[in-house]
């Protein structure tokens, strides 16, 4: 079985193919890595408006795509037991010609013209509604692959899906993904030629944030803020929020409007022993 992965640096895309052996499927083995050249868009363009959204339906779990966990580049990823109610915000990327026609980690063939995507932890297959938070465009894709394994990406979209969302030009985009099932897709038409739905957007001047911690104790939050001060004191802030009656203090970096800048900050977080982060918009 072959798992297709992608690593992005800015707008440069490097694809790698990982051969997964039986030990991987039992969640305790290693992987071998072979690098390849850059990915790109197809030379032959198509009218993506004629490509319908994926239609959510009940399907059995992929036999090969759902180990309990797996390791890529010395980092272990865990596959979710259930996708119910899953919502995530972050940065999307896309993949195209280099892996068109190759096998995905679910066993299906990757088709860059279809409405599909890759995710690190969702059960395969899963259907998600993807919203570009900058322009409000929405699509529905079938998640049938693993990736992307860039530290600051949450989903890898097929070329057509990324084109519909107007993400291809810049290479990345700020998105929200929401798991949908049969009968949960009223906001997006799945018919051929259906217009791309738009919703209210995140304005450029509003920006987005990298959340690096959430504490019940203000002193702990202030400690992390001070620790991260070299990144830029004007960028580190603490916001207060009440969740289920409990006050939490969130340490966030931002607001940011540039994804390349966010990537640079995320790459430095390990220097401050910060190994977890997520993108938030408010």
Which CATH number is 27's domain given? Answer: 2.40.40.10
Domain final residue pick, 155, 179, 198:
198
pLDDT on residue 255: 94
pLDDT on residue 68: 95
216 and 192 in one domain?
no
254 and 183 in one domain?
no
The model carries a pTM of 0.79
Query: Mean of the per-residue pLDDT values for the chain?
Result: 83
Between CA 28 and CA 26 the distance in angstroms is 6
Q: Residue 136 is part of which domain span?
A: 2-40+48-198
242: in domain: yes
Domain final residue pick, 179, 198, 217:
198
203: in domain: no
pLDDT at 95 over 50: yes
pLDDT on residue 140: 97
Q: What is the DSSP letter of 103?
A: B
Between CA 31 and CA 28 the distance in angstroms is 10
Please identify which residue in the block is written with the tokens 């009940």.
Answer: 58
136 and 55 in one domain?
yes
Nearest to 203 by CA among 139, 140, 119, 282: 282
Domain final residue pick, 172, 198, 224:
198
Query: If you average pLDDT over residues 26-40, what whole number do you get?
Result: 39
163 and 85 in one domain?
yes
Q: Are 156 and 117 in contact (CB under 8 A)?
A: yes
Q: What number of residues does the chain have?
A: 282
pLDDT at 10 over 80: no
262: in domain: yes
91 and 59 in one domain?
yes
Nearest to 231 by CA among 193, 192, 270: 270
260 and 168 in one domain?
no
Range name among 15-24, 87-96, 109-118, 142-151 with the lowest pLDDT average: 15-24
244 and 110 in one domain?
no
183 and 163 in one domain?
yes
Between CA 146 and CA 244 the distance in angstroms is 34
154 and 18 in one domain?
yes
| Res. 46 pLDDT band, cuts 50 70 90 | confident
136 and 12 in one domain?
yes
The structural domain count of the chain equals 2
168 and 127 in one domain?
yes
Between CA 199 and CA 134 the distance in angstroms is 10
Range name among 11-15, 54-58, 202-206 with the lowest pLDDT average: 11-15
What are the distances in angstroms from CA 161 to CA 3, 80, 111, 140, 157?
Answer: 20, 24, 11, 8, 6
Between CA 6 and CA 105 the distance in angstroms is 13
pLDDT on residue 97: 83
Cis peptide bond prior to 125, omega within 30° of 0: yes
Sign of the dihedral through C-alpha 15, 20, 24, 30: negative
Between CA 124 and CA 105 the distance in angstroms is 9
219 and 182 in one domain?
no
Please identify which residue in the block is written with the tokens 């070329």.
Answer: 159
pLDDT on residue 30: 29
pLDDT on residue 40: 78
């Amino acid at each position: 079985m072959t798992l297709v992965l992608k690593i992005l640096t800015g707008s440069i895309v490097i694809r790698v193919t990982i051969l997964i052996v039986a030990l991987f499927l039992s969640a305790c083995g290693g992987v071998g890595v072979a690098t390849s050249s850059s990915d790109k868009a197809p030379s032959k363009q198509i009218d993506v408006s004629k490509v319908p959204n994926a239609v959510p339906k009940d399907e059995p779990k992929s036999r090969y795509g759902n180990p309990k966990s797996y390791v890529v580049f010395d980092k272990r990823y865990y596959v979710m037991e259930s996708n119910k109610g899953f919502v995530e915000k972050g940065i999307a990327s896309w993949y195209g010609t280099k892996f068109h026609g190759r096998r995905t980690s679910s066993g299906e063939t990757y088709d860059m013209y279809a409405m599909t995507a890759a995710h690190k932890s969702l059960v395969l297959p899963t259907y998600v509604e993807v919203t570009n938070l900058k322009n409000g465009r929405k699509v529905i894709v079938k998640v049938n692959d693993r990736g992307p394994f860039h530290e600051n990406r949450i989903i890898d979209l097929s070329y057509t899906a990324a084109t519909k969302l107007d993400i291809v030009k810049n290479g990345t985009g700020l998105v929200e993904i929401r798991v949908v099932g049969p009968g949960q897709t009223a906001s997006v038409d799945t018919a051929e030629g259906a217009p791309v739905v738009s919703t209210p957007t995140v304005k450029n001047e509003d920006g987005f944030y990298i959340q690096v911690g959430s504490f019940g104790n203000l002193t702990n939050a202030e400690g992390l803020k001070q620790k991260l001060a070299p990144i830029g004191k004007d960028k580190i802030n603490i916001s207060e929020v009440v969740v289920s009656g409990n006050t939490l203090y969130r340490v966030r970096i931002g607001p940011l409007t540039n994804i390349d800048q966010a990537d640079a900050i995320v790459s430095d977080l390990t220097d401050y022993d910060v190994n977890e982060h997520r993108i938030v918009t408010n």
